[in-house]
Amino acid sequence: MTHISWMIVIAALIAALLQAVSHYFPWRRLLNGRDLPRPAAYIVGTLNLALPLAILLAILNDWVALIALGAVILSSGGTVLTLYGFDGVLAQHELKELNQKLEETLNADERR
């Protein structure tokens, strides 16, 4: 194996180790019995695989690939977080509509 091949293997092993540690990390103990929120879990998982690769790319002075990696991660992550926010707004709107229908039903029952 070449020197670069070994560097790739080491980066891959570090990424795998980070994923394993994150998977078994006692998030509930740290978060007072709550699970790690999905967006935070996505961020942790992405960082686990991207950081070893980013360090490897920096060591290899492959700045174009490093910038491309950052751009892809930021655009993808930004989209996911934006959609989670949008889903939250939709859920609040649906909850508001359900509450209005419930109030209308209760008011109709009281009038009978």
* Whole-number Å distance between alpha carbons of 71 and 67: 6
What global pTM score does this model have? 0.77
Q: Which domain holds residue 23?
A: 3-111
Say if residue 109's pLDDT is above 80: no
pLDDT at 112: 67
Work out the pLDDT band at 107, boundaries 50, 70, 90. Answer: confident
pLDDT digits (tens, 9 = 90+) for 47-103: 999 999 999 999 999 999 999 999 999 999 999 999 999 999 999 999 999 999 888
CB atoms within 10 A of CB 43: 16
SS3 content of the chain, % helix, strand, coil (to 5): 85, 0, 15
Total tally of structural domains belonging to the chain: 1
Say if residue 6's pLDDT is above 90: yes
The pLDDT of 9-23, averaged and rounded, is: 97
Work out the pLDDT band at 28, boundaries 50, 70, 90. Answer: very high
Work out the pLDDT band at 111, boundaries 50, 70, 90. Answer: confident
